[in-house]
Amino acid sequence: MMNMVNIIIPVYNEAENIQTAIERIEAAVTMPHTIAVIYDREDDTTIPVVQKLYPNSNHIHLVKNKYGSGALNAIKTGLEEASGIYAVVTMADLSDPPEVINAMYEKAEAEGADIVCASRYMKGGSQIGGPLIKSLLSRIAGLTLHHFAKLPVHDATNSFKLYRVSFLKQQSIESAGGFELGLELVVKAFVQGRRIAETPTTWTDRTAGKSNFRFFRWLKNYIHWYIYAFTAPRRGLFSYVPRFIFYALAGGACALVNWFLFYVLHYLVDVHYLAAALCAFIVSATTNYALCTFIFKSKGRKKLVEYILVLGASAVALCIDLGVMYIMIEHFNLPAMLAKILGTMSAFLFNYGSRQFFIFSSK
């Protein structure tokens, strides 16, 4: 019978858990399936356990991570090697109940879904244990994406998902950190108009071994895909409105940085106003660049090149600001404050356009 589900388990020294994890999967999953245990290095403690317990198995395989170490690369390897109809990512730490794989498979078959998310935050789902801050931020992200970005799932950040293999073959994975890959794929499916479904699950914190989840190290990557869910173009011109709003907030924050630093340098430290203005400009432009890496998608340029382009565009915007202000005052006799507002608005529009359509892109 054709293999229906490829079950992918990324591991790193999971000798204490892997036997129980595989036994639970084998006892619970009812449709034809394979299990791919993805490891990074030959000295991983998981390997001898699997080799000893399943030496001649035709559906339980050890697979070497082909992209280098790390959870992201292990999952990428498993998803790319998947065959058959579906692929499921689950963990060896016993946190994901394997019987939910049956429910995800049934959902996918019944609704023709490209992704089925196992949800902790929908009705019937729950979470037991785990770090409080990680749990809180994950819940906030999932529910705000559902209610405000209109993702049709409540728990987009959970890695426990079922994917249609034909959907995976059409995607280019861009994640570079850790488990945010699951968020990337569900957001991309949403933007592409794919069918997404969910089913409740109960996540339980591991009882043996050490977690390899590095939440704060990967937080920036999660934020990037979170913002993309709100800002990705989907409805023509109006699709740019959310991204414009995010950039307006970033621009406002950078303006505050600029003004504050100028005030400190010039009025408190007694630096010449031109030098103070130049320092404040460089710092605020650098802050703007950092925020833009969350809001926009890189075109693949080197980071230094992107940064220089942002500095250059910001310098042009500054000239536009001053030029508009001069024209409004000298030629149209507008009050200085009104002229300043018009100049700042013109500079802001140029800054946004340069980043949206030239320096960065919209994915």
Dist. CA 8–CA 184, nearest whole Å = 18
**Least confident interval from 142-151, 153-162, 232-241, 284-293:** 232-241
Once rounded to an integer, what is the mean pLDDT over residues 288-300?
81
Number of H helices and E strands in the chain, helices first, is 12, 11
Dist. CA 195–CA 112, nearest whole Å = 7
CA-to-CA separations, 223 to 10, 124, 128, 180, 183, in angstroms, rounded = 23, 27, 24, 9, 10
* Residue 348 clears pLDDT 90, i.e. is over it: no
Structure tokens given for 13: 């020294």
Once rounded to an integer, what is the mean pLDDT over residues 130-147?
86
- Tokens 């990512």 locate to 89
Domain residue spans in the chain?
Answer: 5-231, 236-361
Q: Are 79 and 10 in contact (CB under 8 A)?
A: no
Considering the entire predicted model, what is its pTM?
Answer: 0.68
Q: Are 71 and 43 in contact (CB under 8 A)?
A: no
**Which phi and psi angles does 307 have, rounded to 5°?**
-65, -45
Dist. CA 313–CA 334, nearest whole Å = 27
Q: Are 351 and 313 in contact (CB under 8 A)?
A: yes
Helix axes 71-81, 181-191, angle to 10 degrees: 50
Q: Are 37 and 50 in contact (CB under 8 A)?
A: yes
Dist. CA 242–CA 290, nearest whole Å = 19
| 5-231 CATH, one of 3.40.50.150, 3.30.2010.10, 3.40.1800.10, 3.90.550.10 | 3.90.550.10
Which residues, 6+ apart, have CB-to-CB distance to 341 below 8 Å? none
DSSP conformational letter for 297: E
| 94 burial via Cβ count (<10 Å: 0-12, 13-18, 19+) | buried
> What is the model's pLDDT at position 186?
95
Bridge pairing between strands 126-128 and 202-204: parallel
* Residue 195 clears pLDDT 90, i.e. is over it: yes
Q: What is the largest CA-CA distance in the chain?
A: 87
Q: Are 98 and 116 in contact (CB under 8 A)?
A: no
Q: Are 45 and 241 in contact (CB under 8 A)?
A: no
Structure tokens given for 240: 């740019």
SS3 call for 244: helix
Structure tokens given for 71: 């959870």
Q: Are 54 and 36 in contact (CB under 8 A)?
A: no
Alpha-helical segments (H) within 148-302: 165-168, 181-191, 215-231, 240-263, 273-295
> What is the model's pLDDT at position 362?
45
Closest CA to 252 of 129, 151, 344, 134: 344
* Residue 17 clears pLDDT 50, i.e. is over it: yes
> What is the model's pLDDT at position 111?
96
Q: Are 20 and 47 in contact (CB under 8 A)?
A: no
Bridge pairing between strands 5-10 and 33-39: parallel
Q: Are 168 and 82 in contact (CB under 8 A)?
A: yes
**Least confident interval from 138-147, 308-317, 335-344:** 335-344
Dist. CA 144–CA 361, nearest whole Å = 24
> What is the model's pLDDT at position 236?
43
Percent of the chain with pLDDT strictly greater than 70: 91
* Residue 239 clears pLDDT 90, i.e. is over it: no
